[in-house]
Amino acid sequence: MAQPRILILGAPGAGKGTQSAKIVEHFDVEHITTGDALRSNKQMDISHLDLEYDTPAEYMDQGELVPDEVVNAIVDEALSSADGFILDGYPRNLEQVEALEDMTDLDVVLTLDVSEEELVHRLTGRRMDPETGDIYHVEYNPPEDPEVEERLEEREDDTEETVRERLRVYQKNTAPVIEYYEDEGSLERVDGEQAPDEVWDDVKATIEENA
Ligand code: AP5
């Protein structure tokens, strides 16, 4: 099998990052994630674009989308050096879908279905290890090593208020993206509310069947 080109969709907290890490390891593809790319460049000066704010941070900390011109350029550059990839966090609106279609073809498009209350619970309990980037959850997936537990950090946009706003932005902008791929006949749905390993079994089978 050539290296697959995979798109993973789903609401904030659906488990895209968690499943993408497994996909990278199993299918040996590159992880292209706009969220991580933007978090590493949160203070980047974008004032020359004459937008509402001068850095990505101001959009992200309020749970708003970073403008398309910034995000499209990040993805375009990342895709130009990747054969197989798992694309996570993009496209998030129909304009980004159009931009992506000019950049690459996709072999598999899948979405993780999770209810809203579960999403809020997952995000407000999420913690990250700043040294390794590994993702944990205070209840579902706490670290075994007390040293790791000690240094865990909460993401700045995982407060309940910002999470609710991110879910509102998701319903308005990104739900139509899922409808678009569904209407096109290319969308594969995975039940994301199962335990992480069960979700992974379904994700892996979906990729193997469709790539
Ligand atoms: P981004 O980083 O993409 O965040 P997101 O889409 O909100 O997704 P998350 O990373 O919050 O969740 P996830 O689905 O990866 O869940 P995870 O695996 O961590 O974007 C952040 C911001 O950047 C945006 O708000 C926006 O401002 C900007 N941005 C990014 N892309 C953009 C774009 N294209 N255009 C414009 N702006 C953009 O899991 C969550 C938690 O649940 C973890 O604690 C995990 O341990 C736990 N968990 C995972 N799976 C399970 C399971 N099956 N059962 C129980 N717990 C689970």
pLDDT digits (tens, 9 = 90+) for 193-209: 999 999 999 999 999 99
What is the number of the ligand 1 atom nearest to the C-alpha of 166? 25
- CA–centroid distance, residue 29 to ligand 1 (Å): 19
Q: Taking 90 as the threshold, does the pLDDT of residue 2 lie above it?
A: no
Q: Give the chain's mean pLDDT.
A: 96
pLDDT digits (tens, 9 = 90+) for 85-119: 999 999 999 999 999 999 999 999 999 999 999 99
Domain ranges of the chain: 5-210
Residue 42's pLDDT is 95
Q: Is the model's pTM score more than 0.90?
A: yes
What mean pLDDT do residues 74-90 have? 96
DSSP bridge partners of 128:
135, 153
Residue 1's pLDDT is 62
What ipTM does this complex have?
Answer: 0.95
Is residue 110 within 8 Å of 188, Cβ to Cβ? yes
What is the number of the ligand 1 atom nearest to the C-alpha of 112? 14
pLDDT digits (tens, 9 = 90+) for 26-74: 999 999 999 999 999 999 999 999 999 999 999 999 999 999 999 999 9
Residue 138's pLDDT is 96
Is residue 5 within 6 Å of ligand 1 at its C-beta?
no
**What is the CATH T-level fold of the domain 5-210, as seen in this structure?**
Rossmann fold (3.40.50)
Is residue 12 within 6 Å of ligand 1 at its C-beta?
yes
What is the number of the ligand 1 atom nearest to the C-alpha of 158? 11
Is residue 163 within 6 Å of ligand 1 at its C-beta?
no
Catalytic residues: 16, 92, 126, 155, 166
Residue-by-residue DSSP string for 138-204:
TTTB--SSHHHHHH-B--TT-SHHHHHHHHHHIIIIIHHHHHHHHHHT-EEEEETTS-HHHHHHHHH
